[in-house]
Chain A
Amino acid sequence: MASGPVSVSAMRETMDVLLEISRLLNTGLDMETLSICVRLCEQGINPEALSSVIKELRRAADGLKASENAPS
């Protein structure tokens, strides 16, 4: 995160921009997920690893949904 106190409005603007980019790129991230990702990235997490984790998690979620749907 930026070291100084970042104004809330600036933060929101930035997030809006990122959300727009995210929408353009069709990443399927909602605002909250995106904000979590941004925070992680800002802490120096390797984005490659993060993206793979997110993909894995999505697959897992799909799998869970499929397994939940199948019996019902």
Chain B
Amino acid sequence: MATPEQKSPNVLLQNLCCRILGKGEADVAQQFQYAVRVIGSNFAPTVERDEFLVAEKIKKEFVRQRREADGALFSELHRKLQSQGVLKNRWSILYLLLSLSEDPRKQPSKVTSYPSLFAQALPRDTHSTPYYYARPQSLQLNYQDRSVPSAQNPASLGSSGIGSIPMYSLNGPTPTPQSFVPGQPYQTPMGDALRQQLGTRLAWTLATGQQPTLQNATSKALPNALARGVALSKSLKDTTSRLAELGWLHNKVRKYTDQRSLDRAFGLVGQSFCAALHQELKEYYRLLSVLHSQLQVEDDQGVNLGLETSLTLRRLLVWTYDPKMRLKALAALVDHCQGRKGGELASAVHAYTKTGDPYMRSLVQHILGLASHPILNFLYRWIYDGELEDTYHEVLLIGKSINFLHQVCHDQTPTAKMMAVTKTAESPKDAADLFTDLENAFQSKIDAAYFETSKYLLDVLNKNYNLLEHLQAMRRYLLLGQGDFIRHLMDLLKPELVRPATTLYQHNLTGILETAVRATNAQFDNPEILKRLDVRLLEVSPGDTGWDVFSLDYHVDGPIATVFTRECMSHYLRVFNFLWRAKRMEYILTDIWKGHMCNAKLLKSMPEFSGVLHQCHVLASEMVHFIHQMQYYITFEVLECSWDELWNKVQQAQDLDHIIAAHEVFLDTIISRCLLDSESRAMLNQLRAVFDQIIEFQNAQEVMYRSALEELQRRLQFEERKKQRDSEGEWGVTAAEEDEENKRVLEFQESIPKMRSQLRILTHFYQGIVQQFLVLLTTSTDESLRFLSFRLDFNEHYKAREPRLRVSLGARGRRSLQV
């Protein structure tokens, strides 16, 4: 071995023959022929190409021979061998050594005379492969190329495809029965028992199924070979083929698990299904190893002929009956589950539990229990922890409550707590229950868990995050429920908001807001809520005043933002703007009224102005009536009703979804009833126009009052001066002064008709708009809006002026009669 030149296998084989037989090349020709043929026809090993397995076998062998020290020594040597890494096929050489090993304590193995066998076999060989003998030195056997040996197979082994199987079975030192030696027709008369013994070994090899491919081939080939007239008795053939079925079934199941175990995408359910199958196969292997050991014992004792206890083919058949049924069930299951994964796979297995056979049912139940275990775990994780662990996309579920608690509320406590609540339900029952009780128990279990979790979630939201308080705060601040606060805020804001929007600064307004909070009942509110209250300025467009852009804002974040979403908040802001505008109208009208009251007495001394005042009063009270009715409608018909509904729903809510849904319904109702939705755009425009008219009226009246008051002031001053000069003993007025005074009075008196006409125009426009609005109201589908029209026009003041109102009212009346 010092010169590692590449010699051809044939040359090496010849060397080997010479070496063992101790003869020259010429004398070993027969044996060499035999060796070449055997090697050439068995190029593929029937054992696992696994160095580790072989090493383990060797160690076991040492243990069996009670040579543990040597075993340790071997381990050491093996390790050294591995570290050197010179050899490619370490398993191969180790296997060879194992095969050749002899138990030193035993007698040299029973040697029967074999030369006769060689003698018999060789003549045929010279026929089939004549040139081996002729040119042994130059022949290159290509072992990597499968086509050469397989082409030889039919020729050299044609009559017995099974020849190699019993030869290289697992038992090392004991001579394997040579009855199937290639080329030897199986004709020697043998005792029936012996024949059965051989059959046992044959079936044994089949059943263990070390090499699936070979196994399949042989299990198919066996009946063929038997059928081709190997002289076995019919019953023997029969039993053997029945035993062969066992191997076939095993291979089927094994193939499935082998394929699947490498497939990472197969999922947890699939993996546990494979594990369950493996468990079954392990049971089967255990049986085989028991049989094997019995065989070993018999081999060690020598061939037992016809003894009662010996392992015969028939006995084997009986013993393997149950395992065969099991394997059959497994194979059927494997067939059925082909190409399925995840929940589908579990369902497929579940379908097999619906059988009348209790044996089969228990088997499938067991497998199902194992296979569905991941699903059960998964479900529990989902139900109790709210986490989805669907790494392999096996199940599609959505759970949020608990996840919500964990993720949004950063609340880790509930798991333990809820577990305590639902512990009874969570006792580790058989996972198969999951499928068998799918309808009843499990459902209720889920329901219970869901109920508990939802309740807990609501508790947490209410207690720790003050959800309900926030809801109320929304109503109080954004929906102007806190009247004193809003009124005071408006008082404070008025000087700021009349300025152009571009000159407003948020920090100023925030300061005012805080002042308003401190001065009113709002100060007693939860600081947590007040902290969130803020001022927001909408986008400024040219010509806007502060009133147009001012808005209150409520900051929502954290868990409550789930209820008060961004969309919700934008709704709230729209509603707020509407309400704020309406409120402002009320405020303006209050100012107007205040002006009336204060100035009425002062201006009494100007009789020429009383007509204007009268007109102003009439228009103002029309407006006051309108706005009061609008405010009534908004407050009582819209806000309070919807709020009551929402509050009831929230109180009864069982989970967060209910609350969110109720809240959304609440907002939608408010939006649509406040005419903010797209359908009532026309009405809203009319309403805006009414508001604009009110503002215009306010401005106009202010101008009129100012000029009237100025005039009054001057007249008073004039009188004052007159009196003063009188008392000083002078002339009260000079002619020039009097002229000037009279001229001014005349000017003022001339401006009065202008004012009156301006007021008339205003009134006319205003009434036109209100009539339009009433027409729209009466045709509205919303009942509360129609009632609003009644209230606004309670004395049929507008109806008398607007023919369309009469028509539509009549029409509506008829419609309602029909209904």
Residues of A bordering B, CB below 8 Å: 1-2, 6, 8, 10-15, 17-18, 20-22, 24-29, 31-33, 35-64, 67
Contact = CB atoms under 8 A, between A and B. Distances in A.
A2 B20 CA distance: 26
A18 B100 contact: no
B460 to A, nearest CB: 70
Interface in B62-110: 62, 70, 73-74, 77-78, 80-81, 84, 86-89, 92-104
Contact of B84 (A10, A50, A53): A10
Nearest to B80: A17
Contacts of A42: 87-89, 92-93
A49 B94 contact: no
A32 B19 contact: yes
Given A17-B81, A28-B102, A55-B100, A48 B168 contact: yes
Nearest to B113: A63
Interface stretch (B5-13, B318-326, B482-490, B666-674): B5-13
Given A28-B102, A60-B21, A60-B114, A46 B86 contact: no
18 contacts: A2-B86, A6-B86, A17-B84, A21-B77, A25-B98, A26-B102, A26-B103, A27-B97, A36-B16, A38-B1, A39-B1, A41-B89, A42-B92, A45-B39, A46-B39, A53-B38, A56-B31, A60-B31
A27 B264 CA distance: 44
A24 B70 CA distance: 7
Given A48-B99, A57-B35, A21 B74 contact: yes
Contacts of B35: 53, 56-57
B99 A47 contact: yes
Contacts of A20: 73, 77
Interface in B24-65: 31, 34-35, 38-39, 41-47, 58, 61-62
B58 A25 contact: yes
Interface of B: 1-2, 4, 6-7, 9, 12-13, 15-17, 19-22, 31, 34-35, 38-39, 41-47, 58, 61-62, 70, 73-74, 77-78, 80-81, 84, 86-89, 92-104, 111, 113-115, 118, 143-144, 167-168, 175
A59 B21 contact: no
Given A1-B88, A33-B16, A22 B4 contact: no
B2 A11 contact: yes
A47 B12 contact: no
A41 B96 contact: yes
A26 B101 contact: yes
Contact of B4 (A6, A27, A64): A6
A63 B38 CA distance: 20
Given A26-B104, A37-B93, A54-B20, A13 B84 contact: yes
A8 B94 CA distance: 21
A24 B772 CA distance: 114
Contacts of B16: 33, 36-37, 40, 53-54, 57
Nearest to A30: B19
Q: Majority SS of interface residues in chain B?
A: helix
A59 B42 contact: no
Contact of A25 (B4, B84, B97, B143): B97
B97 A21 contact: yes
Chain A CB within 10 Å, residue with most, of B6, B16, B17, B35: B16
B96 A8 contact: no
A33 B19 contact: yes
Contacts of B102: 26-28
A70 to B, nearest CB: 12
Nearest to A62: B111
B1 A46 contact: no
Give the dominant DSSP class at A's interface: helix
A54 B97 CA distance: 11
B118 A60 contact: yes
Contacts of B42: 46, 48-49
A33 B93 CA distance: 12
A48 B95 contact: yes
B533 to A, nearest CB: 82
B36 to A, nearest CB: 9
Contact of B44 (A11, A14, A46, A59): A46
Contact of A54 (B92, B100, B111): B100
B114 A63 contact: yes
Most buried by B among A8, A35, A43: A43
A52 B144 contact: no
Nearest to A6: B86
B93 A57 contact: no
Contacts of A41: 87, 89, 92-93, 96
The 5 closest A-B pairs by CB, nearest first: A51-B99, A35-B1, A25-B101, A27-B100, A49-B42
A36 B39 contact: no
A1, A20, A40, most chain B CB atoms within 10 A: A40
Contacts of A2: 86-88
B97 A22 contact: yes
Contacts of A36: 12, 15-16, 19
A48 B35 CA distance: 12
A54 B70 CA distance: 24
A38 B92 CA distance: 9
| Best-buried of B2, B84, B86 by chain A (most CB within 10 Å) | B86
A2 B175 CA distance: 34
A64 B27 CA distance: 11
Interface-central residue, B45, B97, B175, by most chain A CB under 10 Å: B97
Contact of A52 (B12, B22, B97, B168): B168
B86 A37 contact: no
Given A25-B74, A60-B115, 5 more contacts: A6-B86, A17-B84, A36-B12, A51-B95, A56-B114
Contacts of B115: 59-60, 63-64, 67
Nearest to A25: B101
Contacts of B92: 41-42, 44-45, 47
A55 B80 CA distance: 28
A64 B22 CA distance: 10
Contacts of B13: 40, 53
